[in-house]
Amino acid sequence: MTYSENLNELLAIAREAAAAGAAVLAERDEVAPAGLPLEATSHGIETKSSASDFVTDFDKRAEEAVRQVITARRPHDVISGEEYGTTEVTEPSGYRWSIDPLDGTTNFVRGIVYYCTSVAVQDPEGEWIIGVVQAPALQRIWWGARGIGAYTARGEGEPVAITGPKGELNSGLLATGFGYDPARKAQQVESVGLMNEHFGNIRRLGAAALDICLVADGTQDAYAEYGTQEHDWAGGAVIAEEAGVPVRRPASGDGADQPDWCIIGRIGIEPQQLKPTPRA
C-alpha cells in the first residue's frame, strides 16, 4: 500500500469513527427534547477535576463507539481516549489515535449546541496526519489530512475546501477558553487582555476542537488557550494546518501536569508575552 493509499484509508476510518461517536451524541435529543438541560440523575452525570468539569454516560458510550470502529479496522494501532485512557496492543503498528468522544461536555449537559466528537491520528514518526471533528447539533463536519488539505461540509452537502481567516472583516474574533483552576484562570485572563488589544471581540464557545475548526474555516481569526489536553486540540490542529493556519501545539499532551499554550492563527503578540510563559 502506498503512503497516499494508507492516508486515505486512515482518513476514511477516522471519519467513520467520528460519525459513530457523533451518532451517540445525537441521541441527546431523544432524552432532552427542545434542547433542555440533561437531568443529572438520569444520565450518569459526574464530575472530574472540579464541580464544573462534567462527564456523562454519553461521553463513555461515544468513546466506546469510536474505539469499536478503530479497533475493528486497525487492531494494532494504539488508542488514547479521554475517558478510557491509552490501550496497549500486541505488535503495535506505530500509529496512535487520539480521541475526544465529547468535547464540550458542559455545553452538552446544559443544552448549548457547541459540542463534538474529535478524532486524530499520529504516525510512527510522531507527526499528526489526520484530523476529523464532527458536531451533530450543528450538522457540521471538518476534516484534514497531511498534504490533502482541509474541508468542511454541512449535513449531506458537498465538501468545501477551507483556507483559514481571510482578514476581510474589520473586527477580528479571538477564541479562547479557561481552565477550572482559579489561579490558572486568573493568569489566562491577564493574557487574554493582552491579546484583546489586537482583536475586535472575543468568543468563548466551550469546545476547543470547534474553536480551532472555526479558525480553520475563517469564522474566527485566532484561538489561544492554556492547559488543554491532547485530545482537545489534536484533531482540530491537523485541520487548521491543512487550511494553511499557523499552529503552535502544546509542548506536552498532558495539559494537567505539564500545561502549555495551544495557539492557532496569529494572536497579535509574541507567545513569550503570554502568562504563564509557553514551554520551549
pLDDT digits (tens, 9 = 90+) for 137-189: 999 999 999 999 999 999 999 999 999 998 865 689 999 998 777 877 888 88
CB 122 within 8 A of CB 129: yes
Q: Where in the chain is the domain with CATH 3.40.190.80?
A: 173-273
Determine whether the annotation assigns residue 102 to a binding site. yes
**Strand 78-81 vs strand 96-103: parallel, antiparallel, or unpaired?**
parallel
CB 81 within 8 A of CB 66: yes
Give me the sign of the Cα torsion angle 66, 71, 72, 77.
positive
What letter represents residue 9's amino acid? E
- Give the start-end residues of each E strand in 56-180: 78-81, 85-86, 96-103, 116-122, 128-135, 140-145, 149-154, 160-161, 173-176
pLDDT number for residue 186: 82
Determine whether the annotation assigns residue 232 to a binding site. yes
Determine whether the annotation assigns residue 156 to a binding site. no
CA angle 28, 30, 32 (to 5 degrees): 65
Nearest C-alpha neighbor of 54 from the set 33, 64, 39? 39
Residues in the chain where the model's pLDDT stays below 50 = 49-53
Q: Distance (Å, rounded) from C-alpha 254 to C-alpha 234?
A: 12
> Rounded to the nearest 10 degrees, what angle do helices 3-26 and 57-73 cross at?
150
Q: Where in the chain is the domain with CATH 3.30.540.10?
A: 3-161
Q: Which CATH class is domain 173-273?
A: alpha beta
CB 85 within 8 A of CB 213: no
144 forms bridges with which residues in the sheet?
A: 131, 150
Determine whether the annotation assigns residue 53 to a binding site. no
CA angle 150, 151, 156 (to 5 degrees): 160
Compute the residue count for the chain.
280
Q: Distance (Å, rounded) from C-alpha 53 to C-alpha 62?
A: 18
Determine whether the annotation assigns residue 103 to a binding site. yes
CB proximity list for 5: less than 8 A, separation 6 or greater: none
pLDDT number for residue 52: 39
CA angle 93, 264, 155 (to 5 degrees): 75
3-161 under CATH 3.30.540.10, yes or no = yes
Q: Distance (Å, rounded) from C-alpha 205 to C-alpha 212?
A: 11
pLDDT number for residue 280: 66
User: What are 233's three cell numbers?
Assistant: 486540540
**Strand 222-226 vs strand 78-81: parallel, antiparallel, or unpaired?**
unpaired
